[in-house]
Amino acid sequence: MATVRDVARKAGVSPSTASIVLAGKAQQRHISDKTRLKVEQAARELGYRPSVEARFLRGQKGTGPLRLALFWADDRRVVFLTRFLQGAFPTLPEEDMTLEVQPYSPGHLAENPEFLGGGRFHAAILANAAPGDLAWLEAHPPVFPVVIYNRRVKGFVCVCADDGQIGKTAADALLQKGKHRPGVITARARYAEIARRDDSFAQHMAKAGYAVPPKRWVQEENSISGGERACEKLLPYRPDCLFCCSDAMAYGALRVLPRRGLRVPGDVAVLSVGNGDPDYRGACLVPLTAVPVPIEEMAKQCVKLAGRLLRREKAESVKVTAPLQERDSL
């Protein structure tokens, strides 16, 4: 395990200078950007990790809370961040941590100075990263422990929803209502977790003898209008239920069905993988049945795993299950 002295030696600076940079105090102590970058590069190449074991052995006295960063992709809507924070905050005192949100642009994680340096933080949670960010992360391990939220990355501890369980729960709910002609409405640009949920749903429907043919599987923009267009494309094939990858697409479908003289759920049931998103509730009069992504519990697990990583305890990736929330659309 690399030490501060190892980093200092590789960077060609004194141990005290390396320590100041790694503590995130380079600007405060008037250390040049050139020196700071040399130290940060040396730390990355050596795989340096800030050691916090001693503080735990000392009972955490007189050291202040550990600093945890949440790197949150800024294309994700505020409602999801709010739910994440609601799940994370009650767990922070248990781990003696504070949390600071660090927005970043998807696809540009490699340009984020806070993530590159890491001196201000003991650990981080990386949320909703784009594929390019994840590929970069695998090739450039950070200088502090990182927990990945809502994505799967080889070599990292990750917290995800149980996508297979979500698809199965949705299929079981529709089958129990006697629905046997499923249609799938999904996003044109699918992240891996959406694809896993879609595939799990289709596999469980097929196992029950009710496969989803290609003509009843439509990809569109992940929005209310995209859901409307997808529903219009599906209706000629007479589905009796719709599995939608998001609240937005489900609400789009729910707007179309009454206009076509179809009753919900009598003629067509609608179920989404979503969150009962309040921003969309006014889009339709029919309350939406969903298998909600368990954001709050996932956030709680992220904080706990960050604590385990800092204490150098065994930490393994977690899959969080999601219960069905049945409302009038089923």
- Predicted local confidence at residue 65, as pLDDT: 84
The answer to whether 252 touches 225, Cβ cutoff 8 Å, is: yes
SS3 152: coil
Tokens of 203: 């596999």
Which helix (H) or strand (E) segment holds residue 123: the answer is strand 123-127
- Predicted local confidence at residue 56, as pLDDT: 45
Residue 216 reports pLDDT greater than 90: yes
Tokens of 296: 């709050």
- Predicted local confidence at residue 136, as pLDDT: 87
The answer to whether 180 touches 223, Cβ cutoff 8 Å, is: no
Nearest to 151 by CA among 116, 196, 118: 196
- Predicted local confidence at residue 140, as pLDDT: 81
- Predicted local confidence at residue 18, as pLDDT: 83
* Domains 1-48 and 163-290 agree in fold: no
Q: How far apart are CA 289 and CA 175, in angstroms?
A: 14
Alpha helices in the chain (DSSP H): 4-11, 15-22, 33-46, 53-57, 78-88, 113-117, 131-139, 163-176, 192-207, 224-234, 247-259, 295-310
- Predicted local confidence at residue 237, as pLDDT: 97
Q: What is the DSSP string of 244-292?
A: ESSHHHHHHHHHHHHHTT--TTTT-EEEESS---TTTGGG-SSPPEE--
Tokens of 181: 């002609």
Sorted by where each begins, the domain ranges of the chain are 1-48, 163-290
- Please give the average per-residue pLDDT across 271-283, as a whole number: 70
- Please give the average per-residue pLDDT across 164-182, as a whole number: 97
- Per the prediction, the chain carries an average pLDDT of 87
The CATH homologous superfamily of the domain defined by 163-290: Response regulator (3.40.50.2300)
- Predicted local confidence at residue 279, as pLDDT: 58
Residue 113 reports pLDDT greater than 80: no
- Predicted local confidence at residue 137, as pLDDT: 87
- 54 band by pLDDT with thresholds 50, 70 and 90: very low
Q: How far apart are CA 62 and CA 80, in angstroms?
A: 35
pLDDT > 90 fraction of the chain, expressed in percent and rounded? 55
Q: How far apart are CA 284 and CA 286, in angstroms?
A: 6
- 256 band by pLDDT with thresholds 50, 70 and 90: very high
Domain 1-48 has CATH 1.10.260.40: yes
- Predicted local confidence at residue 119, as pLDDT: 63
Cis, bond preceding 265 (omega within 30 deg of 0): yes
Task: Write out pLDDT tens, residues 12-34.
Answer: 988 878 877 876 667 767 888 88
Determine which of 8-17, 182-191, 273-282 has the lowest per-residue pLDDT on average: 273-282
Supply φ then ψ for residue 160, to 5 degrees.
-135, 160
Nearest to 306 by CA among 145, 140, 152: 145
Tell me if the pTM is above 0.85: no
List Cα–Cα distances, 146 to 25, 49, 107, 305, 325, in angstroms.
21, 11, 18, 9, 32
Q: Residues 143-147: contacts with CB within 8 Å, 24+ apart?
A: 143/22, 143/40, 143/43, 143/44, 143/47, 143/48, 143/49, 143/50, 143/117, 143/118, 144/49, 144/50, 144/118, 145/49, 145/306, 145/309, 145/310, 147/123, 147/302, 147/305, 147/306, 147/309
Q: Strands 157-161 and 217-220, how do they pair?
A: unpaired
How many CB atoms neighbour CB 223 within 10 A? 15
List Cα–Cα distances, 130 to 73, 85, 133, in angstroms.
8, 21, 5
Q: How far apart are CA 263 and CA 174, in angstroms?
A: 16
- Please give the average per-residue pLDDT across 301-311, as a whole number: 93
- Predicted local confidence at residue 76, as pLDDT: 61
- Predicted local confidence at residue 280, as pLDDT: 62
- Please give the average per-residue pLDDT across 289-298, as a whole number: 93
